[in-house]
Structure 1
Amino acid sequence: MKKIWLKTTLAMAIGAVSTHSLGNGIAINEQSVSGMGTAFAGRASAAQDASTIFGNPAGMSKLKRSEIVGGFAVVDASVDISDSSAESSEGDMVPLASVPFGYFATPLNEDWNFGIGVYVPFGLISDYEKGFGGRYKGQYSKVQVITLQPTLSYKINDRVAVGFGPTINKIDGKLTSKLDNSALFGSGDSEVNIKGDDVAVGFNAGVLVDITDQLAWGLTYHSKVDYTLEGRTKFKNGNGPVFSNLNGEYDATLDFTTPESVDTSITYKLDDKWTLYGGATFTRWSRLEEIVVENDGTPGVLGLQPIAEVSEELKWKDTWSYAIGASYQLNPQWVLRTGFALDPSPAANDNRTVRIPVGNRKVFSLGAGWSPNDDMTIDVAYSYLREDEAKVNQAGRSLAPGVEVAPGYSASYRNSAHGLGAQVTYRF
């Protein structure tokens, strides 16, 4: 009985920025604005600047001078909720969010390059209004992940390079959800508030091959990262008389693994003006099968220990996403970019949650780079994201027969987002 009534999705907030970034699930794609302009097509093969530290560590071998890259993307999401089973189901539950990043890369000699990057690999934030009808399934979710990646690349010969970098990942976050006291002869809602954090290590590795003078192929592997989040679960009672002895904070532990991914792409220089890009990314979302939060020292209620263990069944599926893009060198100072991406949702209608109500995505991007001189480039990009309709249908949960403390919720979500990014590269 200890898992019956208090289920919530702590791992669904692993990340840092927005449910509606340019990556699906909890993935964040905004690690480069020069890449954003082509919808990240060619990310593993283009090596346009030091942001290749994330896109493909081997790409640093293409950089002949030291570079500093800094930038950010802003995501403005819109959420339209319809066919709701509750009276109060307002949309726009994703606030305006920004995604910063920064990189430094420098040649060590003719064969070796060193670099270091700071970026966000995963992300989520959702914030519903207080009276949201699905608040018993999730009301507020925000977790931040920041990754530091020192990196080396090695040029094996004139056509083949490899790169590797360990990743040091810091996670911390907060989730809240509600419980319905009225089922236990009280009134109002109780609140469950979960916080946790951890630091864990993974790695990125890549290979970049110049097949011909015009055609390049790249492959990047982003490893899984195993976390043990430690924090606390806080229970705050409303006006209900039954759960009053649960008030307080309890030590909490969560084991969680972010999925590995493989990104492969090609870059083809058609002529002095046009360059074409294409890519595919596999993400092993099936690692997110079940989440269990263990709480220590919780008292019993009605002979039960209802918050000794908090669990959620996810059953996400692996996905393949695809992107194509092109750039046009207008003149020595200006390059124009465009791209289109398809990114399927890892969650199906029978296991989608209100914390991440995402559907299959289509993304269209435009971008430009301006180089006033050989030492500086300013990149800008705009992306529009549109999702297919996504249905949420979460069942109610009971403490005992006839005592439903987490009513069910169902609704249809139609999501879209505008993304705008800017980046500055300085070479010396």
Structure 2
Amino acid sequence: MSKKLKLTAVAVTAALMSINAHAAGYQVNEHSASGLGRAFAGEAAVADNASVLARNPAAMTLFKTAELSGAFTVIDPSIDVEDQTFNQTAKDVAPLAVVPAGYYIHPLNDSVALGLALFSSYGVSTDYPDSFNNGTAAGMTSLITFNVNPNVAYRINEHFSIGAGVSLVYGDAKLERHKGTKLALLLGGKASDKSIEMEGDTFGWGWNIGTLYEVNDDHRFGLSYRSQVDLDFEGDFTDSTGLITDANNNVVTGKLDVVLPAIAEFSGYHAVNEQWAMHYSVQWIQYSKFEELRATSDQCSNGLCMLKDEDYDDNFRYSVGATYTVNPDWTLRAGFAFDEQAGRSTLSIPDTDRYWYSAGLTYNVNPDMSFDFAFTYLDGKETTFQEDDSTFTSSGGAILAAAQINYKF
């Protein structure tokens, strides 16, 4: 096995599975400002604007006219990782991020509607200090995914609607790694010296389905499923540690398969009266499919460069919320969510339970245009774990803010 590719495969692993400050595992939930304001409770059934496409295509049959929604969410994490063994703390390792999204729904008639969703399902970003003791597992990491998701919906009768779509998912991963204190002592040089650089991208395909049951205008239930997407990354991996004797061959093309797990969601929406509505969701993420990370190349022995077993289980996210219509111009909403830990904590994924406290509002400029705003405080449970003969503690949370415009044609 090539030592170089073994090192770089580990680096790619960290690039794809780094700290995610705002969802369990490595999922991104931030699809809309209206949804954020209720902690994404009832997302597969509320359908108050076109962003419902991110959760349930069947809900497009609720729209009588074409509608366009565009949103962006600003995520400001505050995550600290402490190496208790070496008495070293990396502060704010997850930098500020912006997550955009866009949606369009076009009813063809009373029974059929088409839609297009543009959003991100997965994405992470971390930036450790150059001198962090475990530099080969830290450094700068970025994973960006973008989902292009056309959908169609059909109303079977006054109660039942179904919908389906396909997804083209683009993924881009970049990273830099440094020697860190350990490797600098072993090989010489400074802790801040670069050891590994990587950049790669890929495309993957998936699909989604959904159904909507309307008891009446005030009560409805939504059920949706978004399939697993397999991303087969291929890129150039550069090792600058000096461990390779052939100085002219420090770049290897390797492949690493990454699973974006399937997601299912059940939601309910109930209008109590003309002003109050309640909504809730249970989301299931099939993290048990994330069983291993396997890096391959024809320059490795038997084609296998690295095999790392993972300890992940399917997890659930529970959310409840309420909406209050003040008057025709203003709507208020709030929500709470519990996002349970998906996998065993490691330095690359110090996963933990998370609690969402959300509030938001809608301002209707006129019958055709409205704006949504939302704010969430996300509280992450402190977690302690062992890795590389060291004890680490991860703590912190995040502040999320979002804005959205909706326009009916």
User: Which TM-score applies when normalising by structure 2?
Assistant: 0.92
Q: Distance in 2 between matches of 1:184 and 1:81?
A: 24
Aligned sequence identity (%): 30
Specify the alignment match of 2:40 in structure 1. Answer: 40
Unaligned runs of 5+ in 1: 299-304, 396-407
* 1:378-393 correspondence runs (5 A): 378-393=371-386
Change (3 A) 1:358 1:293: same
CA contact (8 A) 1:327 1:338 kept: yes
| 2:402 alignment partner AA | G
| 2:220 alignment partner AA | A
Q: Is structure 2 residue 197 aligned with structure 1 residue 193?
A: yes
| Structure having the larger proportion of residues in helix | 2
Q: Distance in 1 between matches of 2:99 and 2:127?
A: 18
Choose from 394, 404, 407 the match for 1:423.
404
CA contact (8 A) 2:287 2:314 kept: yes
Q: Is structure 2 residue 209 aligned with structure 1 residue 205?
A: yes
CA contact (8 A) 2:335 2:359 kept: yes
CA contact (8 A) 1:112 1:154 kept: yes
Specify the alignment match of 1:53 in structure 2. Answer: 53
Q: Is structure 2 residue 302 aligned with structure 1 residue 321?
A: no
| 1:267 alignment partner AA | Y
| 1:334 alignment partner AA | W
CA contact (8 A) 1:18 1:123 kept: no
Q: Distance in 1 between matches of 2:307 and 2:184?
A: 23
Q: Distance in 2 between matches of 1:71 and 1:321?
A: 23
Choose from 277, 290, 297 the match for 1:275.
277
Task: Spell out, residue by residue over 1:134-162, the C-alpha distance to the aligned partner (whole angstroms, 9 max, x if none).
Answer: 32223221111100011101011111111
Specify the alignment match of 2:360 in structure 1. Answer: 367
Task: Spell out, residue by residue over 1:88-133, the C-alpha distance to the aligned partner (whole angstroms, 9 max, x if none).
Answer: 4221011110000001111111100011111000110011010112
Q: Distance in 2 between matches of 1:18 and 1:120?
A: 17
Q: Distance in 2 between matches of 1:131 and 1:257?
A: 31
CA contact (8 A) 2:11 2:196 kept: no
CA contact (8 A) 1:252 1:293 kept: yes
Q: Is structure 2 residue 292 aligned with structure 1 residue 290?
A: yes
Specify the alignment match of 2:395 in structure 1. Answer: 414
Specify the alignment match of 1:124 in structure 2. Answer: 124
CA contact (8 A) 2:161 2:213 kept: yes
Specify the alignment match of 2:113 in structure 1. Answer: 113
* 1:25-424 correspondence runs (5 A): 25-82=25-82, 84-179=84-179, 180-181=182-183, 186-188=188-190, 191-237=195-241, 242-245=243-246, 248-297=250-299, 309-348=305-344, 352-395=345-388, 408-424=389-405
Task: Report SS of the residue matched to 1:61.
Answer: helix
Task: Spell out, residue by residue over 1:161-215, the C-alpha distance to the aligned partner (whole angstroms, 9 max, x if none).
Answer: 1111100000111233345545656444561223222111101110010124422
| 1:243 alignment partner AA | I
Q: Distance in 1 between matches of 2:222 and 2:68?
A: 23
CA contact (8 A) 2:324 2:332 kept: yes
User: Which TM-score applies when normalising by structure 1?
Assistant: 0.88
CA contact (8 A) 2:83 2:390 kept: no
CA contact (8 A) 2:111 2:156 kept: yes
Task: Spell out, residue by residue over 1:42-97, the C-alpha distance to the aligned partner (whole angstroms, 9 max, x if none).
Answer: 01111111111111101111111111111100000101334522344221011110
Q: Structure 1 segments of 4 or more deviating over 6 A?
A: 1-5
Change (3 A) 1:96 1:183: closer
Displacement of 1:308: 7.0
Change (3 A) 1:11 1:32: farther
CA contact (8 A) 1:337 1:366 kept: yes
Q: Distance in 2 between matches of 1:293 and 1:410?
A: 27
Q: Distance in 2 between matches of 1:38 and 1:285?
A: 25
Q: Distance in 2 between matches of 1:55 and 1:409?
A: 41
Task: Report SS of the residue matched to 1:60.
Answer: helix
Change (3 A) 1:2 1:410: farther
Q: Distance in 1 between matches of 2:11 and 2:24?
A: 17
Range moving further from structure 2, 129-138 or 316-325: 129-138
CA contact (8 A) 1:14 1:171 kept: no
Change (3 A) 1:31 1:185: closer
Change (3 A) 1:66 1:182: closer
Change (3 A) 1:336 1:59: same
Q: Size of the alignment, in residue pairs?
A: 401
CA contact (8 A) 2:16 2:124 kept: yes
Q: Distance in 2 between matches of 1:89 and 1:121?
A: 30
| 2:399 alignment partner AA | H
Supply the RMSD in Å over aligned alpha carbons: 2.3
CA contact (8 A) 2:11 2:177 kept: no
